[in-house]
Amino acid sequence: MSILPLFQNIFAPPRDLILIILAAWIGLTLSERGAPGHPVNLDALNNLLLASLGGFLIGGRLLYALENFPTFSQSPGSIFSLNTALFDQWGGLAIAVLAGLAYGRRAHLPLWDSLDVLTPLFAALAIGIALSHLASGAAFGKETNVPWAVEQWGALRHPTQLYETIAALVTLAVILIQKPAAGPGFEFLLFVALSSASRLVLEGFRGDSTLILGGLRAAQIAAWFILLGALIGLDQRGSPGQAKGARVRARSGK
């Protein structure tokens, strides 16, 4: 058996979640290792992550239950079900962000520095998500005849999950090797810029895109606007004033 089918058998859903949990663990380790260069209280940051995780899990389930209220009202006990499908992922993510922001404000955590510390975690999570796509066959490619096409879902397709994994690995590598010479938020915005740029490119090879306005891919348009915002943010942090401020901060050890 070749490596890919073996990998897909081992991590077939729902076991693909193991890959995301593993990535989160590695990402947390990397984040903690890089934290000393930033003026962030690690304990408070860990509590922020716990608050976000709780918000994600509870918020995602509650929002799903609210969206399907007539169904849940007939079997209220289902709200405690272990079925991961009973979950609003985007809603959960929104609640997680709100919970994180609320906790960070309360604990007086500096926003951009905290995001910089957490960037390796986000980058590692992106790898875990890409690998879970590879294991489950989700986020599949469009049909193609390129020599490296893979047989999937009844056709030869672009191996978009592999593209996604490689892009996420490169993003993490860039994040880890870049020198923090610019202002707070630079690492996070660099991650956002690289991730949105790769999504913008790779979405064009996907076979499951949500299409709008006569065939345009919705995710590409969203990625373009996110890339625009990230580039503006990077430009501001790359300006001499910001960089000087960052250097002064680094020297003073704050």
Partner 1 sequence: MQPILRRSLSGIILLAGLAWIFASADQSNSATAGRIPAPQKGFLAPDFRLATPDGRSIALTDYLGKGVLINLWATWCPPCRAEMPVIEKLYQAYQDQGLIVLAVNSTVQDDPTAISPFIRQYGITFPVLLDINGEASTLYELRSLPTSFFIGRDGVIREVVVGGPMSEALLRTNIEEILK
Smallest separation, CB 172 to partner 1 (Å): 20
- Compute the CA torsion angle 89, 30, 164, 95 (nearest 10 deg): 10
- Which residues contact partner 1 by CB under 8 A? 9, 12-15, 65, 68, 71-72, 74-75, 77-79, 81, 83, 85-86, 137, 140, 142-143, 153-155, 197, 200-201, 203-209, 211, 214-217, 220-221, 223-224, 227-228, 231, 234-235, 238-239
41 vs 144, beta carbon nearer partner 1: 144
Output 140-146 pairs: Cβ under 8 A, ≥24 positions apart.
140/206, 140/207, 140/208, 141/205, 141/206, 141/207, 142/205, 142/206, 142/207, 143/207, 144/205
Nearest to 184 by CA among 149, 234, 229, 145: 234
Smallest separation, CB 180 to partner 1 (Å): 16
Tokens, residue 174: 């860039």
Smallest separation, CB 49 to partner 1 (Å): 27
d(CA 134, CA 41): 36
Contact 130, 199 (CB under 8 A): no
167 vs 200, beta carbon nearer partner 1: 200
Give the type of residue at 113: D
Smallest separation, CB 78 to partner 1 (Å): 3
29 vs 239, beta carbon nearer partner 1: 239
Bridge partners (DSSP) of residue 211 are: 217
110 vs 238, beta carbon nearer partner 1: 238
28 vs 221, beta carbon nearer partner 1: 221
Contact 152, 141 (CB under 8 A): yes
7-35: burial string, b at 16+ Cβ within 10 Å, e else: ebeebeeeebeebbeebbebbbebbeebb
29 vs 143, beta carbon nearer partner 1: 143
Smallest separation, CB 231 to partner 1 (Å): 4
- Tell me how crowded residue 53 is: count the other CB atoms within 10 A of its CB: 15
Smallest separation, CB 158 to partner 1 (Å): 11
